[in-house]
Amino acid sequence: MQKPLILVTNDDGITAPGLRSLVKFMKEIGDVVVVAPDSPQSGMGHAITINNTLHANLVTVDDIDGAEQEYSCSGTPADCVKMGLQELLDRKPDLCVSGINHGSNSSINVIYSGTMSAAIEAGIEGIPAIGFSLCDFSWDADFEEAKPFVQKIVKQALANGIPKGVVLNVNIPVIENEKIKGIKICRQARANWKEKFDKRTNPMGKDYYWLTGKFELLDKGEDTDEFALANNYISVVPTQFDLTAHHTIQQLNNWNLNEH
């Protein structure tokens, strides 16, 4: 039987250790093609390139652990998926996996995430998709403990399918001196970033700014991704890309919008 074809992408760049680990994990499950950014694209959200040219080059990153084919793309994570599906793959992938991201994409972070936007782009195109993130921003983060859980989630997705209009947002806690307890299906926690701009002046006397901020959890629920991660569970949030607030339609229909 033909192995499942798995498209792998990310937002940290094609040489990022998280992506290299994900490629190795997926090679044990199916045929793997990588289309990933040629440079870091964190925080790009669902940006696409419309005012510049795009390039996709066939590359070899790992002689031993590399994918069947790998393309380094000059665009954003969403660009990578579009290019992969429309130009580079010779057949429709059975699954798209994005990551493993260096850093959390839980809660409100999903809005800004290039990792999750790549998965969402695949979902929009009708490809089952999963975004994986490890809650460790360091370049030398250890992804090995997550391997059996990542593979289990992928195998279940291939076997059971993912509902149309939904992608999975998977976040993996960083565990010290303990083990991951398991996997929890969760909702997205309500949270926000309280931004702060660090204002500085360059040697030419021109002001510039560095964006910083503090994550503020506004949700005490025990069914959220943040609660799961804090208690050493992997969180899986089914994430939809239909942004309609359906429960508000009736309320807005009561507004006097068509009266003159």
DSSP label at 133?
E
The answer to whether 12 is annotated as binding is: yes
DSSP label at 86?
I
Amino acid identity at 16: A
Cα(174)–Cα(71) distance, integer angstroms: 30
Secondary structure of residue 91 in the 3-state scheme: coil
Cα(129)–Cα(94) distance, integer angstroms: 9
The answer to whether 160 is annotated as binding is: no
- Residues with Cβ within 8 Å of 57's Cβ and at least 6 positions away in sequence, in order, are 38, 71, 72
- DSSP states of 173-226: ---SSS---EEEE-BPPPEEEEEEEEEEE-TTS-EEEEEEEEEEE----TTBHH
Nearest C-alpha neighbor of 225 from the set 108, 146, 120 = 108
The answer to whether 42 is annotated as binding is: yes
Helix axes 17-27, 147-160, angle to 10 degrees: 50
Look up tokens 């990022």; give the residue: 16
C-beta of residue 12 within 8 angstroms of C-beta of residue 34? no
The answer to whether 11 is annotated as binding is: yes
Instruction: Please state the residue numbers annotated as binding site for a divalent metal cation.
Output: 11-12, 42, 101
Instruction: Please state the residue numbers annotated as binding site.
Output: 11-12, 42, 101
